[in-house]
Amino acid sequence: MSLGPPPDAARRRRASRRHPRIPRVRSILVVLLGFVLSGLVGALTFFWPTITTALGATGHGIQVSAPTPGTIPGSPSATPTVAPTSSSPFTVLLMGSDNDGKFTTASGAPYFCCAQSLILVRVDPAASSVTMLSIPRDLWVPIYSASGRRLSDGKVSQAFGDAGDGTNGANAEIATIEQDLQITVDHYVWIGLQGLINLIDEVGGIDIVASHPVMDDNYPYDVAGSTNPNAADRVAVLPGAQHLDGLQALEYVRSRHDDFSEDIGRTVRQQQVLVALRQKLSGLSLGDINNIASALNGEVLTDVPLTQFPLLLGISKDIGSGSIQHVYVTQYSGGTEDGQDVLEPDMSAILAYVHQYFPPA
């Protein structure tokens, strides 16, 4: 009959068996970590083009300096860049324009004419509401440089072009709108014409209800491979429900010649297409990210940091189409300045109207 090892020896043996478990647990953790890291590297290499595109397009901060004191009564001070939060309201300036430099200056340098589309968007996450305000591009107002310096008077859209390139142009446009409308712009998003086409094509087109036949025999044929900036194209978007691809959607929002009021008609359609596009993008899946980033490469600029995009997408999903208010600056009359047809603003009426929706700075 065996009495077994003495108690001390048994404890030692048990202890010696326990020791190998620590390296074993550590080994399992190391192996698991290795798999996780390997998977992350695999995903990272797949999303690398998206990451580089996103880093290149985002975070272009607004650097508008304080205006010269006394230039405009009640003019705002230096623009604070407010990071979107889950509850605080913020204002975004959406700009759309061509960026292919198809026009040149007298010296032959690329000339970026202007922001073809200017839409202020006020987002109130707590109230789940959005207000979109279109500013007519021909509104004749004081123009400001990106540093807030008062320049000459001009069409509000020309501030974008006066600065000479996309990034600085955006800052000049923001400064002009902030000073003239006496509001604060927290963020901006700029998209090129080709970028809009690419984005809408990438999401499979958009479906809208066209309010009337949009006809144009003198539509600018300056995208989709055209090399002649003065070439014309023909547009006919029929009324009612329509499925539009990217090029058709651009035609729909850009055509103006058969609109009785020219620019205001297309600003209404621009807001309509943005709402349809937002709805389509709300179904975005992981599998679409690379393709969309590729479609937008070089065609989008924004100061919104990349890290804020998940929050913005979340806010966007929470806001139904019925909670979007569409408003338009219409307090103006036709006029002529420097040989151009312009819209002469009734500034006091415009400010009273704008400040109903956008708090004064």
Residues 136-195 touching another protein, rule: CB under 8 A, are: none
CA 185 to chain centre: 13
Contact range with another protein by CB under 8 A, out of 5-13, 103-111, 141-149, 213-221: 213-221
- Report the distance separating Cα 100 and Cα 78, nearest Å: 31
Identified binder of another protein from the candidate list 173, 180, 186, 216, rule CB under 8 A:
216
Distance in Å, CB of 45 to another protein, minimum? 6
Q: Which of residues 23-82 bind another protein (CB under 8 A)?
A: 31, 34-35, 37-43, 45-47
Asked if 12 interacts with another protein (CB under 8 A), we say: no
- Distance linking the first and last C-alpha atoms of the chain: 96
Q: Which of residues 100-119 bind another protein (CB under 8 A)?
A: none
Q: 160 and 112 in contact (C-beta within 8 Å)?
A: yes
Identified binder of another protein from the candidate list 186, 202, 299, 303, rule CB under 8 A:
202
CB-wise, 28 or 306, nearer to another protein?
Answer: 28
CB-wise, 92 or 250, nearer to another protein?
Answer: 250
Q: What number of chain residues touch another protein (CB under 8 A)?
A: 71
Distance in Å, CB of 270 to another protein, minimum? 11
* Contact characters 247-286, another protein, x per CB under 8 A: ----------xxxxxx-xx--x--xx--xx--xx--xxxx
CB-wise, 174 or 350, nearer to another protein?
Answer: 350
CB-wise, 81 or 129, nearer to another protein?
Answer: 129
Hey, CA dihedral for 53, 158, 164, 60, is it positive or negative?
A: negative
CB-wise, 163 or 293, nearer to another protein?
Answer: 293
Strands 103-104 and 110-111: antiparallel
CB-wise, 164 or 265, nearer to another protein?
Answer: 265
Q: 66 and 90 in contact (C-beta within 8 Å)?
A: no
Identified binder of another protein from the candidate list 203, 249, 300, 361, rule CB under 8 A:
203
β strands within the chain, DSSP E: 90-97, 103-104, 110-111, 117-124, 129-134, 140-144, 150-155, 187-192, 206-210, 214-220, 232-237, 240-244, 300-302, 324-328, 332-337, 340-345
Asked if 240 interacts with another protein (CB under 8 A), we say: yes
Closest CA to 136 of 120, 112, 150: 120
Identified binder of another protein from the candidate list 6, 7, 73, 287, rule CB under 8 A:
287
- Report the distance separating Cα 72 and Cα 79, nearest Å: 15
- Report the distance separating Cα 197 and Cα 179, nearest Å: 32
- Report the distance separating Cα 138 and Cα 338, nearest Å: 13
Hey, CA dihedral for 63, 68, 71, 75, is it positive or negative?
A: positive
Q: Which of residues 322-351 bind another protein (CB under 8 A)?
A: 322, 326, 328, 330
Distance in Å, CB of 319 to another protein, minimum? 13
The burial class, CB within 10 Å (0-12 / 13-18 / 19+), for 310 is exposed
